[in-house]
């Protein structure tokens, strides 16, 4: 047995030293004085890859001075000079995205400014894991973590948008997959990533539903790192066991449980709306339950009218839930509400699966999960992506970042720490084993359930519609006026769909 | 000391009771801040916020200052805040002093209108000008830098500092100015010889006010100071809260530390503030 | 005798004012102009769109339910904040003026909240005014009230849509009333004792002394405080973000918060600019008459 692990270790060492600490590729010692183009032809099969070779070598030379510093593309390469030949896929990507008017990109080094709103906890750990991987491949680049806290990018958006307008964006920034990208006027401010998808083969390993989500105006604009599920019902096992309850499969069962628990003095359903979006998140999952996957999707394309019965029913259900909810929900964010479960004072909560990561961080293990009533077989998905702004100061560094984000290695490292599942579906069983039980079951569901886009998390609708939707729900919490709110939702849809 | 008024003891007692009562009202939030920041993360509990910590722990202060996982501490952000606040305070105070002097002692036709126009700048909602501000700073190459932040704070501080100094200098008798002019002093001469020497209370009020608002500013800081290396402490403090998970003890400890400089300014220099007010600076 | 202004002197004064004039000209009026122009444009996505649409955005705003609630909230907040701060500030100043032992100590305690940022205030008061729940127990002020036997005074505070922004006003009063106190104290100290004595000798009661002698003399301070507090109130934003967010049914929402969301989240830049212009106009209504009045009054002196 020890012999096997010894062998694995040896293999790893060989592999690593072949890979080198740094960009994937191999070294190449020039046999006779020649040009870069000839070298590219010789090693990569196409003279046009010369700039890629130049860049890779220059980057390498910043860390290791034994490599040649190439000053111009048509410089004579002396005999005995050491070059670094990148992998063909990398070279292809480089050539697809490099702007010949930017000779500065041929020299390596520089910064990578990453904008996000991941500032603490598992999110920050995940981001750091990605940074570490990036640093291994591109040690010549200085990573700047330009993160700004504020749930769902509350503050971040106000910072990034003026920068985009003024023409000074970071090299890459976080963006939800889906129609949220419309809010960034991508044709003007972002670079389409179609070629990168092709070269990296992402259209083969990302599920079709996700790929459909990622397309806007015919192009891909972001690279997804993770998937979160929004329609999850979390419950406290202690309370359920005590009162002999099983997870509800439909709303009738749900309300029966609520009645029973209310009589016992337990808060049947907890919610926190301090962030302003949590109640709308709940309502979104209820809409899925009353309209089904296709009906729900149709709401956002105009196929399902907002005046339909399914929407009325959803509002009625939401109204009824408000009778069973904790009275202080306006003061609590979703994790404040989660404290009820941990204290065994509240029974059920509907929230995205970042809740799972939070429970684990709090050391709470006595919980169970189920799909939101009547949404079994439907996966309400949201995804975080990174994009490439058109005027990024270091576009090639950003390109490397995107490749790390889309790689299996990057996605496993990120998601095991953040508590979400990779966007890629090509993980082996051994790789999946690195994730906790909830996440493993989530991956299975993702592979077989019907996937619908979350609206409150930027996938299903453009930002202005999301805001209007959120506002309508917020007013509903106070007025409980089903007809009025439905009218407001109809108007919001009209405003968004015609524009 | 008024003569002929009897001090009724119960009235005095009532007076002190009321004063102490108000003091409790004002100190109540600080109690929560301090007590929470001295607790460990496990102990922090919304429903026992008034309880004293079981075991005093400076862990949260350390974490807030040096950093925990995923965030760097506030230490270098404090330095950034000083880099921004001190020059901007001095610059806006100086400009305000000059403006206030000219507008109060060297009136010309339209100087009142000019003053009103200058003053109006105090009232714009800053969120509404973020975009042109970013664009303008980018054009002059100061976006994302500390000098850019200093510029923004100086410019938007000019209205209030001008107001304070103008009102303050209005109390300086015209005769002194006259006398100096007869002696042959020009505009700047009068300023340096007559105005500056008596300006201390005015500067006290202005600098305390400006230092406080600049130190506490979040909006300009988060918009202009992009690079974490140059961010002031208010932005870093905001980042101590994760988007989903908040370590309240660290948050409160960080808030306390971030509030310390301005707090100390008010505690130790408060009397100069009062003196400046007495001298007529903020009479309106 | 009219003094002659030497030409050179005139030039120097103008030069001294020039940097400020240019700075304010660009950073204030230039930007206001830009905002005004955008408010009448069709810019409703990230890519700027400057097509002129007249006052359409303004009409839409006033018909928008959220904005209507915001204006109500702002009116309630401003009224409470102003009266509360002025009343408490004045009261404290009067009390402290009575040769109190430890005056410096009390004064510092009342004044220090002003040194905090609205964000810190918001975070703490968010906790303080969290009502708690029957299951988890009370917290914050409710808990304190329970402990001292005044449990019947408990309230939902900002979680109760009927209270909403009034709770935020309490936090704001906490922060700024010390400043009002400092101003009034300075003002009271500036009133010569002889005036009060004269009134008392004339037979006025203490209360009448205040009403007919002191308060009128403090009017400039009151006006000054109203201006400063008024403009803080109209622009209030940080406190809402840190303390309550928009609240249930927008019971804590204010125009500045709406402006932020609609600009940077809904990408309705034109609408955001329109809100800004409306805020500016409201501030002008408050400030400009006062400015003209006080400046003219000075010219007469």
Which residue among C129, C133, C249 places its CB closest to the CB of A326? C133
Q: Kindly determine whether residue A168 and residue B143, on different chains, have CB atoms separated by under 8 Å.
A: yes
B235 to chain C, closest Cα gap in Å: 11
User: Tens digits of per-residue pLDDT, B190-219?
Assistant: 888 888 888 888 899 999 999 999 999 999
> CA-CA distance, A256 to A225, in Å (whole number)?
39
Is residue B163 within 8 Å of B122, Cβ to Cβ?
yes
* A345 close to C (CB below 8 A): yes
SS3 letters for chain C? CCCCCCHHHHHHHHHHHHHHHHHHHHHHHHHHHHHHHHHCECCCCCCCCCCECCCHHHHHHHHCHHHHHHHHHHHHHHHHHHHHHHHHHHHHHHHHCCCCCCHHHHHHHHHHHHHCCHHHHHHHHHHHCCCEECCCEECHHHHHHHHCCCHHHCCCHHHCCCCCHHHHHHHHHHHHHHHHHHHHHHHHHCCCHHHHHHHHHCCCCHHHHHHHHHHHHCHHHHHHHHHHHHHHHHCCCHHHHHHCCCCHHHCCCCHHHHHHHHHHCCCCHHHHHHHHHHHHHHHHHHHHHHHHHHHHHHHHC
B187 to chain C, closest Cα gap in Å: 6
Q: pLDDT band at residue B151, thresholds of 50, 70 and 90?
A: very high
Phi/psi at C134 (5° precision) = -55, -35
Give the residue, B241 or A199, on which the prediction is more confident.
A199
User: Tens digits of per-residue pLDDT, A207-216?
Assistant: 998 999 999 9
The encoded tokens of residue B235 equal 């932005």
Q: Kindly determine whether residue C266 and residue A467, on different chains, have CB atoms separated by under 8 Å.
A: yes
Which residue among B102, B116, B218 places its CB closest to the CB of C292? B116
B164 to chain A, closest Cα gap in Å: 33
Residue B58 pLDDT: 87
Q: pLDDT band at residue A21, thresholds of 50, 70 and 90?
A: low
Look up tokens 């179609």; give the residue.
Answer: A194
Look up tokens 């009927």; give the residue.
Answer: C162
Is residue B244 within 8 Å of A123, Cβ to Cβ?
yes
Among B95, B96, B86, which Cα is nearest to B161's? B96
* B130 close to A (CB below 8 A): yes
Residue C198 pLDDT: 85
Which residue among C244, C251, C265 places its CB closest to the CB of A463? C265
Phi/psi at A222 (5° precision) = -140, 160
Phi/psi at A434 (5° precision) = -75, -15
Residue A6 has pLDDT above 60, yes or no: no
Phi/psi at A264 (5° precision) = -90, 0
Q: Which residues contact A366 (CB under 8 A, 6 or more apart)?
A: A236, A237, A238, A344
Among A457, A482, A466, which Cα is nearest to A382's? A457
Q: pLDDT band at residue A18, thresholds of 50, 70 and 90?
A: very low
Q: What is the DSSP letter of A180?
A: G
Residue C32 pLDDT: 93
pTM of the predicted model as reported, rounded to 2 decimal places:
0.89
Return left, alpha or beta for C157; rule: phi > 0 is left, psi -120 to 50 is alpha, else beta. Answer: left
* A358 close to B (CB below 8 A): yes
Cα distances (Å, whole numbers) of residue C281 to A342, B188, C23, C54, C237: 50, 38, 22, 17, 17
User: Tens digits of per-residue pLDDT, A143-190?
Assistant: 999 988 877 788 898 899 999 998 999 999 999 999 999 999 999 999
> CA-CA distance, A101 to A103, in Å (whole number)?
6
* A152 close to B (CB below 8 A): yes
Judged by DSSP in three states, A89 sits in helix
Which residue among C124, C174, C221 places its CB closest to the CB of B26? C174
> CA-CA distance, A154 to C265, in Å (whole number)?
8
- In chain A, what residues touch B134 (CB-CB under 8 Å)? 162-163, 165-166
Burial of A490 (0-12, 13-18, 19+ CB in 10 A): middle
- In chain A, what residues touch B143 (CB-CB under 8 Å)? 166, 168
CA A479 to chain centroid, in Å, comes to: 35
* A335 close to B (CB below 8 A): yes
Q: pLDDT band at residue B120, thresholds of 50, 70 and 90?
A: confident
Residue A12 has pLDDT above 60, yes or no: no
User: Tens digits of per-residue pLDDT, B152-169?
Assistant: 999 999 999 998 898 888
Q: Which residues contact B165 (CB under 8 A, 6 or more apart)?
A: B96, B97, B99, B100, B101, B104, B199, B202, B206, B281
Q: pLDDT band at residue B124, thresholds of 50, 70 and 90?
A: confident
Q: Can you spell out the DSSP letters for A248-281?
A: -SSHHHHHHHHHHHHHTT-EEEE---TTSSHHHH
Among C136, C139, C175, which Cα is nearest to C157's? C139
CA B243 to chain centroid, in Å, comes to: 28
* B111 close to A (CB below 8 A): no
* Under-70 pLDDT residues of chain C: 1-6, 294-301
A344 to chain B, closest Cα gap in Å: 15
CA A390 to chain centroid, in Å, comes to: 21
Residue A263 pLDDT: 93
Cα distances (Å, whole numbers) of residue A295 to A208, A275, A347, C197: 19, 28, 30, 82
Q: Kindly determine whether residue C133 and residue A477, on different chains, have CB atoms separated by under 8 Å.
A: no
What was the ipTM of the complex prediction? 0.87
- Mean pLDDT (whole number) for A61-71: 91
> CA-CA distance, C74 to C72, in Å (whole number)?
5
Q: Kindly determine whether residue C186 and residue B159, on different chains, have CB atoms separated by under 8 Å.
A: no
* B182 close to A (CB below 8 A): no
Look up tokens 């002031």; give the residue.
Answer: B232
Residue C285 pLDDT: 85
- In chain A, what residues touch B245 (CB-CB under 8 Å)? 120-122, 335, 358, 361
Among A469, A475, A473, which Cα is nearest to C65's? A475
Residue C1 pLDDT: 36
B110 to chain C, closest Cα gap in Å: 11
Q: Kindly determine whether residue B128 and residue C259, on different chains, have CB atoms separated by under 8 Å.
A: yes
Judged by DSSP in three states, A235 sits in strand
Q: Kindly determine whether residue C47 and residue A188, on different chains, have CB atoms separated by under 8 Å.
A: yes
Q: Kindly determine whether residue B247 and residue A120, on different chains, have CB atoms separated by under 8 Å.
A: yes
Subunits touching B (CB < 8 Å, at least 3 pairs)? A, C
Give which of B47, B48, B68, B70 to mutate to test A binding, by max A Cβ within 10 Å. B70
Cα distances (Å, whole numbers) of residue A165 to A80, A168, A190: 48, 8, 12
Other Cβ atoms within 10 Å of A163 Cβ, number: 24
Residue B69 pLDDT: 58
- In chain B, what residues touch C269 (CB-CB under 8 Å)? 131
Q: pLDDT band at residue A440, thresholds of 50, 70 and 90?
A: very high
The encoded tokens of residue B86 equal 């001190």
- In chain A, what residues touch B71 (CB-CB under 8 Å)? 119-120, 124
E-state strands within A100-196: 111-116, 142-147, 172-176
Buried b (16+ CB within 10 A) or exposed e, B171-190: ebeeeebeebbeeebebeeb
C137 to chain A, closest Cα gap in Å: 10
* A161 close to C (CB below 8 A): yes
- Mean pLDDT (whole number) for A433-438: 91
Q: pLDDT band at residue B240, thresholds of 50, 70 and 90?
A: confident
Residue C295 pLDDT: 66
- In chain C, what residues touch A273 (CB-CB under 8 Å)? 248
> CA-CA distance, C181 to C92, in Å (whole number)?
6
Is residue B77 within 8 Å of B236, Cβ to Cβ?
yes
Which residue among C88, C260, C299 places its CB closest to the CB of B127? C260
Burial of A90 (0-12, 13-18, 19+ CB in 10 A): buried
Subunits touching A (CB < 8 Å, at least 3 pairs)? B, C
Is residue B252 within 8 Å of B60, Cβ to Cβ?
yes
User: Tens digits of per-residue pLDDT, A254-270?
Assistant: 999 999 999 999 999 99
Q: pLDDT band at residue A205, thresholds of 50, 70 and 90?
A: very high
- In chain C, what residues touch B27 (CB-CB under 8 Å)? 109
> CA-CA distance, C212 to B121, in Å (whole number)?
36
- Rounded percentage of chain A residues whose pLDDT exceeds 90: 78
CA C98 to chain centroid, in Å, comes to: 29
User: Tens digits of per-residue pLDDT, A325-376?
Assistant: 999 999 888 888 999 999 999 999 999 998 988 888 788 999 999 999 999 9
- In chain C, what residues touch B115 (CB-CB under 8 Å)? 295
Angle at B93 between CA B91 and CA B95, to 5 degrees: 70
- Rounded percentage of chain B residues whose pLDDT exceeds 70: 92
The encoded tokens of residue C150 equal 């005044």
Give the residue, C58 or A275, on which the prediction is more confident.
C58
- Mean pLDDT (whole number) for A451-465: 94
> CA-CA distance, A121 to B97, in Å (whole number)?
48
- In chain A, what residues touch C260 (CB-CB under 8 Å)? 158
Judged by DSSP in three states, B265 sits in helix
Q: Report the DSSP beta bridge partners of residue B4.
A: none
Among C210, C219, C187, C239, which Cα is nearest to C81's? C239
- In chain B, what residues touch C23 (CB-CB under 8 Å)? 154-155, 158
Which residue among C65, C159, C263 places its CB closest to the CB of A330? C159
> CA-CA distance, B209 to B282, in Å (whole number)?
11
Residue A4 pLDDT: 56
Which residue among B134, B228, B241 places its CB closest to the CB of A162? B134
- Mean pLDDT (whole number) for A40-60: 92
Give which of A324, A330, A478, A484 to mutate to test C binding, by max C Cβ within 10 Å. A330
> CA-CA distance, A294 to C135, in Å (whole number)?
40
Which residue among C113, C118, C130 places its CB closest to the CB of B46? C130
Angle at B73 between CA B70 and CA B78, to 5 degrees: 145
Residue B64 has pLDDT above 90, yes or no: no
> CA-CA distance, B94 to B98, in Å (whole number)?
6
Look up tokens 């403006």; give the residue.
Answer: B99
* B155 close to A (CB below 8 A): no
- In chain C, what residues touch B270 (CB-CB under 8 Å)? 107-108, 111-112
> CA-CA distance, A114 to A143, in Å (whole number)?
8
Closest residue in A to B223 (Cα–Cα): A159
Which residue among B46, B239, B247 places its CB closest to the CB of A149? B239
- Mean pLDDT (whole number) for B86-101: 95
Q: Which residues contact A256 (CB under 8 A, 6 or more apart)?
A: A248
Residue A2 has pLDDT above 80, yes or no: no
> CA-CA distance, B22 to B28, in Å (whole number)?
10
The encoded tokens of residue A283 equal 């309502």
């Amino acid at each position: 047995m020890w012999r096997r692990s010894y062998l694995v270790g040896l293999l790893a060492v060989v592999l690593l030293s072949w890979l080198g600490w740094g960009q994937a590729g191999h070294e190449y010692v020039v046999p006779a004085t020649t040009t870069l183009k000839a070298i590219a032809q010789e090693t990569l099969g196409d003279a046009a890859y010369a700039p890629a070779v130049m860049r890779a070598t220059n980057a390498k030379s910043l860390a290791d001075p034994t490599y040649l510093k190439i000053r111009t593309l048509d410089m004579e390469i002396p005999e005995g000079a050491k070059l670094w030949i990148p992998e063909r896929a990398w070279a292809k990507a480089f050539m697809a995205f490099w702007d010949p008017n930017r000779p500065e990109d041929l020299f390596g080094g520089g910064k990578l400014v990453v904008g996000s709103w991941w500032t603490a906890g598992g999110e920050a750990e995940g981001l750091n894991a990605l940074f570490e991987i990036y640093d291994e491949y591109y040690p010549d680049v200085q990573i700047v973590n330009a993160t700004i806290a504020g749930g769902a990018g509350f503050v971040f958006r106000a910072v990034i948008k003026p920068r985009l307008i003024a023409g000074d964006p970071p090299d890459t920034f976080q963006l939800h997959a889906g129609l949220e990208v419309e809010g960034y006027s991508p044709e003007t401010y972002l670079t389409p990533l179609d070629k990168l998808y092709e070269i990296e083969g992402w259209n083969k390993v990302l599920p079709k539903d996700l790929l459909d989500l990622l397309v806007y105006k015919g192009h891909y604009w972001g690279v997804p790192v993770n998937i979160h599920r929004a329609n999850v019902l979390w419950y406290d096992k202690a309370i359920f066991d005590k009162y002999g309850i099983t997870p509800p499969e439909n709303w009738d069962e749900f309300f029966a449980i609520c009645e029973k628990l209310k009589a016992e003095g337990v808060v049947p359903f907890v919610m926190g709306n301090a962030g302003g979006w949590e109640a709308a998140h709940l309502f979104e999952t209820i809409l899925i339950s009353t309209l089904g996957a296709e009906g729900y999707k149709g709401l956002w394309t105009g196929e399902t009218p907002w005046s339909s019965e399914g929407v009325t029913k959803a509002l009625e259900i939401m109204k009824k839930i408000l009778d069973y909810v904790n009275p202080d929900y306006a003061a609590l964010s979703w994790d404040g509400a989660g404290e009820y479960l941990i204290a065994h004072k509240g029974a059920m909560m509907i929230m995205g699966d970042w809740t799972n990561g939070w429970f684990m961080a709090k050391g709470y293990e006595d919980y169970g999960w189920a799909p939101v009533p009547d949404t079994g077989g439907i996966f309400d998905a949201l995804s975080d992506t990174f994009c490439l702004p058109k005027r990024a100061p270091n576009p090639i560094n950003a390109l490397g970042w995107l490749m790390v984000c889309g790689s299996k290695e990057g996605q496993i490292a990120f998601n095991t720490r953040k508590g979400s599942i990779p966007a890629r579906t090509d993980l082996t069983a051994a790789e999946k084993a690195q994730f906790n039980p909830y996440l493993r079951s989530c991956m299975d569901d993702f592979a077989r359930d019907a996937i619908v886009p979350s609206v409150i998390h930027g996938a299903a609708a453009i930002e202005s519609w999301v805001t209007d939707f959120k506002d309508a729900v917020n007013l509903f919490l106070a007025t409980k006026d089903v007809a009025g709110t439905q009218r407001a939702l109809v108007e919001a849809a009209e405003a968004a769909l015609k524009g | 000391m008024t003569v002929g008024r009897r001090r009724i003891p119960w009235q005095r007692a009532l007076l002190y009771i009321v004063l102490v009562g108000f003091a409790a009202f004002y100190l109540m939030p600080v109690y929560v801040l301090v007590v929470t920041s001295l607790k460990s993360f496990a102990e922090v509990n919304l429903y026992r916020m008034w309880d004293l910590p079981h075991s005093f722990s400076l862990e949260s202060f350390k974490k807030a200052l040096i950093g925990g996982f995923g965030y760097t501490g506030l230490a270098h952000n404090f330095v950034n805040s000083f880099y921004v606040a001190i020059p901007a305070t001095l610059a806006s105070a100086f400009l305000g002093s000059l403006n206030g002097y000219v507008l109060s002692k060297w009136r010309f036709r339209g100087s009142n209108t000019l003053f009103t126009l200058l003053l109006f700048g105090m009232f714009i909602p800053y969120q509404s000008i973020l975009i042109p501000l970013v664009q303008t700073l980018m054009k002059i190459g100061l976006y994302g830098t500390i000098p850019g932040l200093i510029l923004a704070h100086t410019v938007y501080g000019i209205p209030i500092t001008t107001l304070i100094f103008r009102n303050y200098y209005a109390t300086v008798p015209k005769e002194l100015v006259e006398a100096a002019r007869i002696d042959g002093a020009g505009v700047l001469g009068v300023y340096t010889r007559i105005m500056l020497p008596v300006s201390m209370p005015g500067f006290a009020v202005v600098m305390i006010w400006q230092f406080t608002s600049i130190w506490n500013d979040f909006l300009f800081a988060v918009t202009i100071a992009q690079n974490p290396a140059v961010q002031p402490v208010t932005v870093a403090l905001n980042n101590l809260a994760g988007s989903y998970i908040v370590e309240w003890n660290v948050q409160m400890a960080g808030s306390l530390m971030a509030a310390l400089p301005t707090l100390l300014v008010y505690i130790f220099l408060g009397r100069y503030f009062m003196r400046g007010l007495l001298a007529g600076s903020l009479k309106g | 005798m009219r003094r002659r202004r030497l030409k050179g002197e005139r030039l120097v004064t103008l030069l001294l004012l020039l940097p400020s004039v240019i700075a304010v000209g660009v950073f204030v009026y230039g930007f206001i102009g830009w905002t005004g122009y955008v408010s009448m444009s069709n810019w409703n996505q990230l890519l700027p769109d400057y097509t002129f649409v007249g006052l359409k955005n303004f009409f839409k705003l006033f018909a928008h339910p959220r904005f209507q609630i915001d204006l109500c909230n702002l009116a309630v907040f401003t009224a409470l904040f102003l009266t509360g701060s002025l009343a408490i500030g004045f009261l404290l100043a009067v009390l402290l003026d009575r040769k109190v032992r430890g005056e410096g100590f009390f004064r510092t305690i009342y004044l220090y909240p002003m040194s905090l940022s609205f964000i810190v205030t918001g975070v703490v008061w968010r906790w303080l005014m969290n009502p708690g729940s029957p299951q988890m127990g009370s917290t914050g002020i409710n808990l304190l009230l329970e402990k001292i036997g005044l449990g019947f005074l408990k309230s939902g505070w900002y979680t109760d849509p009927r209270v909403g922004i009034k709770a935020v006003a309490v936090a704001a009063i906490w922060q700024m009333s010390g400043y009002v106190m400092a101003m009034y104290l300075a003002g009271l100290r500036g009133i010569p004792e002889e005036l009060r004595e004269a009134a008392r000798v004339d037979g006025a009661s203490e209360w009448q002394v205040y009403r007919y002698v002191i308060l009128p003399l403090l009017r400039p301070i009151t006006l000054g405080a109203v201006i400063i507090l008024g403009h803080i109130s109209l622009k209030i934003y940080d406190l809402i973000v840190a303390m309550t967010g928009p609240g249930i049914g927008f019971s804590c929402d204010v125009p500045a918060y709406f402006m932020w969301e609609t600009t940077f989240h809904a990408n309705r830049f034109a609408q955001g600019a329109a809100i800004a212009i409306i805020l500016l106009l409201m501030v002008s209504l408050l400030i400009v008459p006062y400015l003209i009045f006080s400046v003219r009054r000075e010219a007469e002196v």
